[in-house]
Structure 1
Amino acid sequence: MTPAQFQEKFGVSRETLEKLEVYAAHLRKWNPAINLVSNTTLEDLWSRHLADSAQVFSLVPDGTKVLVDLGSGAGFPGLVLAILGVRSVHLVESDVRKAAFLREVARVTGAPATIHPVRIEVADVPEADVVSARALAELTLLLPWAHGMLRPGGVCLFPKGRTAEDELTAVKDSWNMRIERFPSQTDPAGTILRISDLSPK
């Protein structure tokens, strides 16, 4: 996927596309030193990472004020969502070098992102309307973390691969939740889970 194809697919403004191009350039520059993404996926950065993250934006509820992204790594999907227009994004990333990368990209793009270079368990973040995480952990870990951060009525957005149904089975006896499944636009085996009404059984 090229930047022009990305722009056509997601209907972003020229200004937004330029910010994402700056993001992509920084990622390519920093990647050899701190291994933000695998080199094989770097070759198709716009599809494998930027579009894969951007597709989550349409699932963010209207009126969302605070989104907390767990284990942000290179910033997917949280930093992309900030650039696309989510008002206040909090990126939790314990690796200090990756956190430095996130802080620099947020600075040069003007993205409304706050970086928390700490472990998820001790992150001091505002009550979230949305909690997101991509390629971080299974739902057995994600749901307790998210539950402690979500405001009443908040939702989780978790892009998942082939293991989605197995992970849901593993937590069905421990959690009450409403589950919506959206097919990934970038991975034929992928699903984006939107989880709401989350409470422990």
Structure 2
Amino acid sequence: MRIFVADHPLVAHKLTALRDERTDSPTFRQLADELVTLLAYEATRDVRTEPFTVRTPVAEATGVKLATPKPLVVPILRAGLGMLEGMMRLLPTAEVGFLGMVRDENTLTASTYAQRLPDDLSGRQCYVLDPMLATGGTLGAAANFLIERGADHITAICLLAAPEGVARLEQDLADTSVPVTVVTAAMDERLNEKGYIVPGLGDAGDRLYGVVD
């Protein structure tokens, strides 16, 4: 497994504004959208392409186009939806699947409650969108779910990550040979006793969409 922490002043600037507790939900959504696009640029460095020839006004030119099958973008509900538009802005021809996962606040383990994905993901590159790599249980379960369906390359885009989550993810993926990369804006200090990232930015879903009781 590979961890890539983006090192760019615009990433740091937008992340700082996301952390600020005074940032309201509409502004938070806009900043998250912009930040995901920046992270997606790094996350798609290994996207598969194939040669493609076009004719310019002057002559033929050989370039590339995205290979088939198309990449699959998978936001983890609900917070991952706040990252979808920013990702699709950079990868508009990708297909989108959805994975609903919920974390038990007592055991910190994740379970699947909904999914809209192809049954066969053989040969597919998957880009998983999950704002927080905290305990690692949700992302690990999501990655294994996709691998079981045949995905052969997974990149996760996270706004923030914690060392405990990275360690858990490495443990959960220890038996797979499928390459997994995590692209994040920052590696924070630790988790608190409730499983939240410190200093973090709070509950990403609540800050994106408000608190739903």
Give TM class, smaller chain: 0.3 to 0.5
Question: TM-score, normalized by length of structure 2?
Answer: 0.44
Bigger relative contact order, structure 1 or 2, given CA contacts below 8 A and separation 6+? 2
Which has the larger strand fraction? 2
Q: Which has the higher helix share?
A: 1
* Higher-Rg member (1/2): 2
